[in-house]
Amino acid sequence: MSADLLVEARGLGKDYPHVFRRADRFRALLRLLAGRTPAAVTPVLRDVNLRVVRGQSLGLIGENGAGKSTLLKLLTGVLTPSHGDVTVNGRVGALLELGAGFHPEYSGRDNIAMSAALQGFDREELAAKLPEIVAFADIGRYIDEPVKHYSSGMVVRLGFAIIAATRPDLLITDEVLAVGDESFQKKCIRWIEDYLDGGGTLILVSHSMYHIQKLCRQALWLHQGQVRASGEVFDVTQAYLAHHERKTAETVPERDVEAVRRLEFHVRQVRMNGHEGEQPQVVEQGGSLCVEATIASRDGRVPVVHVGIVRADGTPVYGISSDMDGVQPAPAGEGDYRIRLHLTDLALLPGSYSVRVHPMDTEGMRLFDTVERAVTIKGRSREAGLVRLAHVWEHAAPLPATPAE
């Protein structure tokens, strides 16, 4: 294993036996004692391949139950894999669960000593590090109280303070920072940024795409126990957010082609940047989009054409119709009319959107048909919302330059 390769997982998988009833647990135990696998299992992680090199920052994302915590426990040796194998080369600092590794009856100070001993610290090293740990945790007199009296936020403070003092080769944290108060979260984020600038390696689990994009360069998306996507952090997180937007979108009834052909106006064809079909078009942030529509008119009257953009969850973003700008579609033969709309310098933020084309009557009052095409906006932006507004910061100094990757 290369010295720069800290973690390597190959075909990693984890199964849990079905133990819904007491008899199930007894049968599973007997099979394990006999060296046999349980008869019925539920796979929670399947065929995960992963490589983390020194200095890398990896965000691990996915819905609840996707297998993120299970993967971290396999990487840290808390669980053994049912399939595949994992190799870790280096000292690991892990914050996986609240209170993990702490003895509830011991004081915070005693738990610091116990954790330091497990990390290989001798008495002199512990004495040197103890003031730093106590100061970072900042829990006052509770440092000498039993951990069972701590709030969840105080447990996180103590756990992170110990990790910060030991500066492991690889830091693994699973959403526990979300429990701490805002000031402590900011302290932890500043420490992590300094840790990464110093060559540290991070695997971060979070449901906050803002923090994933801020702290990580790469991301891995787990979906139902399998890798759905991995790669550059903005590509993976934007695909994940688009997936959730589509999940929350209202169900659009399937278009009845035969029925719409009997309408006064219907959409015959839509082309996006010269492409026909329902395959989503990918456009870079700030790029341009050309929407070309052919509208069939049953009695030859000239239609009004409305073009709208919505987010994947149905949130309206922008809409314009031909009559608003004092134009009309051009004749295209046999009762058809064609219009081409160029949307330049798209201000849309990265995400998943849909373009909707609606033919309306000549007066622009009645809507007759709807055809929808998907568009994905790509970009490296952490701005929030739907569109990018032109802006200028005044009385502000630029951030210090970060070291080259």
Which of the residue ranges 109-123, 169-183, 278-292, 386-400 would you say has the lowest mean pLDDT? Answer: 169-183
Torsion, Cα 61 63 64 67, to 10 degrees, reads: -60
Q: Which residue has the higher pLDDT, 157 or 60?
A: 60
Q: Are 219 and 231 a contacting pair, CB within 8 Å?
A: yes
pLDDT tens sequence across 25-79: 656 666 666 666 665 677 889 999 999 999 999 999 999 889 998 999 999 888 8
More confident residue, 378 or 398: 378
Q: For residues 327 and 213, give the distance between their C-alpha atoms in angstroms, rounded to a whole number.
A: 43
What is the separation, in whole angstroms, between the first and last Cα of the chain? 23
Task: Provide the pLDDT for residue 235.
Answer: 87
Would the pLDDT of 1 be above 60? no
> What are 334's two structure tokens?
């046999």
List the single range of 115-124, 258-267, 317-326 with lowest mean pLDDT: 115-124
Length in residues, the chain: 405
Radius of gyration of the chain (CA): 28
Mean pLDDT for the stretch of residues 392-399: 78
Is the model's pLDDT at 385 over the cut of 80? Answer: yes
Q: For the chain, list the domains and their CATH numbers.
A: 257-378 (2.70.50.60)
Q: Which residue has the tokens 């103590």?
A: 158
Task: Identify whether the C-beta of residue 10 lies closer than 8 Å to the C-beta of residue 96.
Answer: no
Which DSSP state fits 105?
A: T
In this prediction, what percent of the chain has a pLDDT beyond 90?
36
Number of helical (H) and strand (E) elements in the chain, helices listed first: 9, 19
Q: Which residue has the tokens 């849309």?
A: 348
Q: Is residue 251 scored above 60 in pLDDT?
A: no
Beta bridge partners of 119: none
| Percentage with pLDDT > 70 across the chain | 87
Under 8 Å between Cβ of 146 and 105: yes
Strand-strand pairing, 218-223 and 5-17 = unpaired
For 216-232, what is each residue's pLDDT tens digit?
999 999 999 999 999 99
